[in-house]
């Protein structure tokens, strides 16, 4: 079954904690991204667990650096007790393999995902950076991630099915840019609704603004969970 990750992208720690408090009885993942982690750090993760220890945490820091630095960072992440984190596939296979090798000595480790193409890219913008169309590059990045021992990728719902065809059912896809019921896309370019994500075999959907900008986030989450 598809799982829901709620993006904690609110401007202050208090607003994020208020949101978490409101949704604490739902079976959802919480996504802690750059802004929140840079500002509120590890203590914020502990506060989440205090509200409900069953919340699963996805640390969305999208690591990108030289292989040794990425492996060092991954090892620091191990100390945070999160359930999932990610890095950029464009850091290369050597970097991804080094990260996974470094995590081998731990009895358990989080799910590790590689970012393929950010969902904010249009085809033209993507080509300017990667000199490729999104779909073939995302397929290639997914294959690289699988060969390097990762558990899955971050991709838009539009790339999910093709990636699953290449990598197999077990290899996970996580798709941001989800507008569950056709809400405003904001800065996202490759946006899909729940039905499309489901049809594309997406394992995790990430939803931010449609939930935290709503007057009644609980109601939106409930409606989403009913559709998964
Ligand atoms: O508000 P919205 O639903 O667009 O939030 C999507 C979230 O997913 C944001 O936190 C964004 O940083 C993140 N994300 C993304 N595209 C990726 C990876 C992460 O939009 N490829």
Q: 186 C-alpha vs ligand 1 centroid, how far in Å?
A: 11
What's the pTM? 0.95
Any ligand 1 atom below 6 A from CB of 180? no
Q: pLDDT (tens digit, 9 = 90+) per residue, 71-85? A: 999 999 999 999 999
E strands in 27-149: 29-33, 56-63, 84-88, 111-115
| pLDDT on residue 187 | 86
Give the pLDDT confidence score for residue 105 in this predicted structure.
93
Q: What ranges do the domains of the chain cover?
A: 3-227
What CATH architecture applies to the domain 3-227? Alpha-Beta Barrel (3.20)
Provide the pLDDT for residue 182: 86
d(CA 168, CA 74) in angstroms, rounded, equals 25
Instruction: Locate the ligand 1 atom nearest the alpha carbon of residue 154 and give its number.
Output: 21
**Residue ranges of the chain whose pLDDT lies below 50:** none
Residues 117, 156, 188: CA angle, nearest 5 degrees? 85
């Amino acid at each position: 079954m598809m799982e829901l990750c709620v993006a904690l992208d609110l401007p202050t720690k208090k607003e994020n904690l208020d949101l978490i408090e409101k949704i604490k009885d739902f079976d959802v993942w919480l996504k802690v991204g750059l802004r929140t982690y840079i500002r509120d750090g590890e203590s914020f993760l502990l506060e989440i667990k205090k509200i409900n220890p069953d919340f699963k945490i996805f640390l969305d820091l999208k690591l990108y650096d030289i292989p040794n630095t990425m492996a060092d960072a991954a090892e620091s992440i191990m100390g945070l007790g999160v359930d999932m984190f990610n890095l950029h596939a464009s850091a290369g296979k050597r970097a991804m393999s080094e990260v996974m090798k470094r995590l081998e000595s731990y009895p358990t480790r989080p799910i590790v995902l590689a970012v393929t193409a950010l969902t904010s890219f249009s085809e033209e913008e993507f080509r300017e950076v990667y000199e490729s169309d999104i779909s073939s590059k995302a397929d290639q990045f997914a294959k690289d991630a699988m060969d390097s021992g990762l558990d899955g990728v971050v991709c838009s719902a539009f790339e999910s099915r093709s990636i699953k065809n290449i990598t197999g059912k077990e290899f996970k896809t996580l798709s941001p840019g989800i507008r569950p019921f056709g809400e405003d896309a904001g800065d996202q370019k490759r946006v899909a609704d729940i039905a499309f994500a489901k049809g594309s075999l997406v394992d995790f959907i990430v939803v931010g603004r449609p939930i935290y900008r709503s007057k009644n986030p609980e109601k939106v989450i409930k409606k989403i969970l009913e559709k998964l």
